[in-house]
Amino acid sequence: MEKIRIIDGRVASLRRENVDTDTIIRIERLSTVEKSQLGQYAFEALRYDKNNELDPSFPYNQPMFAHAPILTAGANFGCGSSREGAVWSLVSLGVRCVIAPSFGEIFHNNCFQNGVLPIVLPASDVALIDARTSQGDSLTVNLQTQQIRLPDGRIIEFDIDARRRDALLEGRDDIAQTLTQDAEICAWQAQDREARPWVWLQKQKD
């Protein structure tokens, strides 16, 4: 998983509330498309109009925002099913950071497992970011300092769980994070074998 420290780039604004994981990526795409290619199918229902032509109003259809690494969204972004492919499609699209007033809980967790930084901010701050970057000005997100720098130099601070922050800084998902505690795990196992040997004997039989 790629490390995240500073994300600097344009901001694609998708200020819709309750965008669910099925809207982010259709489930049938997950069985027919390579993980690394899912980005071209992200937000299909929003990217195309009723005539199945690209909607020029959709941010990722616009040359200015086609490769924006930062996405702003409305409340409850990523709600619905536990589809991890929704995050995969965003990664394939080039998104490294999503800023919204709130997220679907499972989607929020999946972001951390796939190198995407989800930032929760008040709706007023999200609107301010949109207003300051709507003409293509870059935004700087610094995970180390937990600060967002607007084009005019204004700073917005954000909160993030310290353990998850460190994992993103080091490019580690939950499994890799657990393996960093291998020595402690082995020490606990040795101690537990002495305290409860019958448990370990049963496991060996299994």
pLDDT at residue number 206 = 47
Read off φ and ψ for residue 4, nearest 5 degrees: -120, 125
* Averaged confidence pLDDT in the chain: 92
Of 154, 1, 20, 34, give the one whose Cα is nearest residue 75. Answer: 20
pLDDT at residue number 173 = 65
Residue corresponding to tokens 């310290």: 162
Hey, is 14 helix, strand or coil? strand
pLDDT at residue number 174 = 61
pLDDT at residue number 172 = 78
Segments of the chain scoring below 70 in pLDDT: 173-182, 202-206
d(CA 79, CA 75): 9
- Which residues on neighbouring strands pair with residue 12, listed in sequence order? 71
Cα of 148 vs its chain's centroid, Å: 16
Determine whether 15 is exposed, middle or buried from the number of CB atoms within 10 Å of its CB (0-12, 13-18, 19+). middle
pLDDT at residue number 183 = 72
Residue corresponding to tokens 């040997």: 197
CATH assignment of 6-172, among 3.30.70.360, 1.10.510.10, 3.30.360.10, 3.20.19.10: 3.20.19.10
pLDDT at residue number 197 = 81
- Which residues on neighbouring strands pair with residue 9, listed in sequence order? 139
pTM attached to this predicted model: 0.85
pLDDT at residue number 15 = 87
- The residues spanned by each domain of the chain are 6-172
